[in-house]
Amino acid sequence: MIPMAQRHHRRKAIRQKLIEEMKRHDTMPADPAEMDEVLETKMQDRLQQSARCSVSRAVSDLVRAGLVQRHYQGHTVDHENRGAQREAVYTLVPEVRAALTR
């Protein structure tokens, strides 16, 4: 999903939006090199957030289709980050697992 975000017009739009936000909050660096570095970092953060949302939607579609089951930490498999009850664990339903191993 990140490669889609690498499209020039999308990056250009995100860059412009970030510049407008920095102007509005009066946080624009005076140095052009620093400005490019700040913009690149902020753009990368935005693109990663977008990709995470896309993955989450895709996995939710798989759950709705009955191909994957959603559990939470410690429910099906013991996890090292147990107890937070926030991390989801996804498991393939047995029929899907059998089809993939053939």
Q: What is the pLDDT of residues 43-69, one digit of tens each?
A: 888 877 777 777 778 888 999 999 998
Residue 84: band (very low, low, confident or very high) from pLDDT cuts 50, 70, 90: low
* Mean pLDDT value across residues 69-84: 61
What pTM, to 2 d.p., does this model score?
0.46
Output the DSSP codes for the chain. Answer: -HHHHT-HHHHHHHHHHHHHHHHHTT---SSHHHHHHHHHHHHHHHHHHHHHHHHHHHHHHHHHTTSEEEEETTSSS--TTTT----EEEEE-HHHHHHHH-
Boundaries of every domain in the chain? 1-65, 67-102
